[in-house]
Amino acid sequence: MTAPTLHRETPAAAAAPRPPDPRWLLRLHRPALYVWAGLVAVLAVGLVWLWGPLTEAAADAWRQYGACADTGPCAYDQDAIVTYKSVYNYTTVPLIALPFLVAAWSGASLFGRELEQGTAHLAWTQGLSPARWLATKLAVPAVLVAAGTGLLVALHRLAWSAGDGRIDTAKSWYDSPTLHANGPTTVAFALTGLAGGALAGLLLRRTLPALILSLGLAAGVRFLAGLAMPHLWPAVTQVTGLEEGYRASGLTVDSGLVTSTGAHIADPGCGPVSSYSGCDAVYARLDATGFYTTYHPESHYWALQLATTALVLAVAAGLAVATFTLLKRTTATTRPTRERTAQEPTQEQAV
User: What pLDDT is recorded for position 265?
Assistant: 93
Q: Domain containing 107: what range? A: 23-232+300-343
Q: Do 62 and 78 share a structural domain?
A: yes
Instruction: Mark whether 67 and 155 lie in a shared domain.
Output: yes
Residues 152 and 93 grouped into a single domain: yes
Are residue 279 and residue 305 in the same domain, yes or no? no
Query: Which amino acid does the sequence have at 184?
Result: P
Confidence of residue 230 (pLDDT cuts 50, 70, 90): very high
Domain assignment present for residue 350? The answer is no
Please report the pLDDT score of residue 341 as a whole number: 43
Whether 3 is in a domain gets the answer no
How high is the pLDDT of residue 249?
87
What lies within 8 Å, CB to CB, of 268 at 6+ separation is 257, 282, 286
Q: Quick one: average pLDDT of 264-285? A: 86
The pLDDT, as a whole number, for residue 300 is 96
Write down the mean pLDDT value for the chain.
86
302 pLDDT higher than 70? yes
One domain, residues 270 and 309:
no
The residues with which 251 forms a beta bridge, in sequence order, are: 296
Is 1 domain-assigned?
no
Task: Report if residue 15 sits inside a domain.
Answer: no
- Of the pLDDT bands very low, low, confident and very high (cuts 50, 70, 90), residue 16 is very low
Kindly tell me the burial class for residue 134, based on how many C-beta atoms sit within 10 Å of its own C-beta (0-12, 13-18, 19 or more).
Answer: buried
Per-residue pLDDT band at 350 (split at 50, 70, 90): very low
Do the beta carbons of residue 117 and residue 207 sit within 8 Å? Answer: no
Q: For residue 270, is pLDDT > 90?
A: no
Average pLDDT value for residue range 283-297: 93
3-state SS, the chain, equals: CCCCCCCCCCHHHHCCCCCCCCHHHHHHCHHHHHHHHHHHHHHHHHHHHHHHHHHHHHHHHHHHHHHCCCCCCCCCCHHHHHHHHHHHHHHHHHHHHHHHHHHHHHHHHHHHHHHHHCHHHHHHCCCCCHHHHHHHHHHHHHHHHHHHHHHHHHHHHHHHHHHCCCCCCCCCCCCHHHHHHCCCHHHHHHHHHHHHHHHHHHHHCCHHHHHHHHHHHHHHHHHHHHHHHHHCCCCEEEEEECCCCCCCCCEEEEEEEEECCCCEECCCCCCCCCCCCCHHHHHHHHCEEEEEEEEECHHHHHHHHHHHHHHHHHHHHHHHHHHHHHHHHHHCCCHHHHHHHHHCCCHHHHC
**203 in any annotated domain:** yes
Q: What pLDDT score was predicted for residue 338?
A: 45
pTM reported for the whole predicted model = 0.85
pLDDT score, position 173: 95
pLDDT of residue 69: 64
- 38-89 residue pLDDT tens: 999 999 999 999 999 999 999 988 888 877 766 666 777 788 999 999 999 9
Examine the domain organization and report whether 226 and 247 are in the same domain: no
